């Protein structure tokens, strides 16, 4: 009998993350031996939910949550939870010695990370060569936080996508395994596109795991044109700009010129996938 490959998942605990971990838990020939999900208390969106008065940013996150529920809730309702799930504090896996020792003791084949805090040593060192980090955005064009939001602000839809990469010490600069872009529809918005990409990620991850030993990665070089954003960079004016761009038929214009635009800005698409 063929032994199942063991996966450790580190993620967060909102609808999109629950969908993600349960999808991975359904993989044949693989077993999630541990899933660490960071709680939501200190997440960027939470502080805006707590505001008594609604503003553009609060409305943005409320709408994001509404769309996440629409895309993922039915699946979550019908599926069982992954084995050995632990809800932890943000970054706990970096400073809790007992948890670190437990993670290492499991002797997992792969570490899969999505939407969590930065992974540091000794976890990083142990799994560096056997990891997949899900970056919602296209490296190196957009780095850091909310990297599929900012292209909607800047009318640069060619930089929306997902980057599958190995873990590294820096911010979103690990060797790239594969990248995908969304298939836009005229009635899309920033939330629809984001959720559609999230739904695609487990399909790609399964292919990566199945071909992991033979996959060649691409190490990109950062340059002055790369854009780096942090969690608190979003302002009300940015939300308004997204709404303006969408009303101004940004997506339709992009679709009409998609082939020409994307040719100017290549992404790394692995031939094995």
Where do the structural domains in the chain lie, given as residue ranges? 5-264
Residue 220: band (very low, low, confident or very high) from pLDDT cuts 50, 70, 90: confident
pLDDT digits (tens, 9 = 90+) for 48-77: 666 667 789 999 999 999 999 999 999 999
At 169 the pLDDT is 83
Q: What is the mean pLDDT of the segment spanning 7-16?
A: 97
pLDDT digits (tens, 9 = 90+) for 79-118: 999 999 999 999 999 999 999 999 999 999 999 999 999 9
DSSP per residue, the chain: -PPPEEEEEEE--SHHHHHHHHHHHT-TTEEEEEEEEE-STTSHHHHHHT-SS--HHHHHHHHHHHHHHHHHHHHHHHSPPPTTEEEE-TTHHHH-HHHHHHHHHT--SEEEEES-PPP-TTHHHHHTTSEEEEESS-TTTEEESSTTTHHHHTT-GGG-SEEEE---SSSS-SPEEEEE-----TT--HHHHHHHHHHHHHHHHHHHHHTGGGPPPB-----TT-EEE-GGG--HHHHHHHHHHHHTTHHHHHHHTHHHHHHHS-----TT-
64's tokens: 């994001």
At 189 the pLDDT is 97
pTM of the predicted protein model: 0.94
Hey, what CATH class is 5-264 in?
alpha beta
């Amino acid at each position: 009998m063929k032994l199942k490959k063991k996966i450790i998942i580190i993620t967060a605990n909102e609808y999109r993350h629950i969908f993600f971990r349960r999808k991975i838990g359904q993989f044949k020939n693989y077993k999630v031996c541990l899933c660490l999900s960071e709680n939501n208390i200190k997440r960027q969106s939470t502080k805006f939910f707590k505001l008594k008065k609604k503003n553009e940013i609060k409305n943005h996150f409320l709408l994001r949550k509404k769309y996440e529920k629409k895309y993922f809730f039915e699946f979550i309702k019908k599926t069982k939870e992954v084995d050995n799930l632990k809800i932890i504090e943000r970054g706990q896996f970096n400073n809790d010695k007992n948890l670190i020792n437990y993670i290492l003791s499991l002797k997992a084949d792969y570490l899969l990370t999505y939407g969590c805090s930065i992974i540091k040593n000794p976890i990083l060192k142990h799994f560096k060569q056997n990891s997949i980090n899900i970056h919602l955005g296209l490296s190196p064009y957009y780095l850091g936080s909310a990297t599929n939001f900012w292209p909607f602000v800047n009318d640069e839809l060619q930089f929306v996508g997902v980057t599958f990469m190995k873990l590294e010490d820096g911010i979103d600069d690990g060797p790239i395994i594969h990248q995908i872009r969304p298939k836009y529809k005229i009635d899309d918005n920033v939330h629809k596109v984001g959720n559609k990409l999230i739904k695609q990620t487990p399909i790609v991850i399964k292919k990566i795991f199945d071909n992991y030993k033979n996959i060649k990665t691409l190490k990109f070089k950062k340059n002055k044109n790369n854009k780096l954003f942090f969690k608190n960079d979003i302002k009300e004016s940015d939300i308004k700009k997204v709404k303006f761009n969408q009303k101004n038929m940004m997506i339709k214009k992009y679709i009409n010129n998609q082939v020409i635009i994307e040719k100017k800005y290549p992404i790394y698409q692995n031939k094995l996938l």
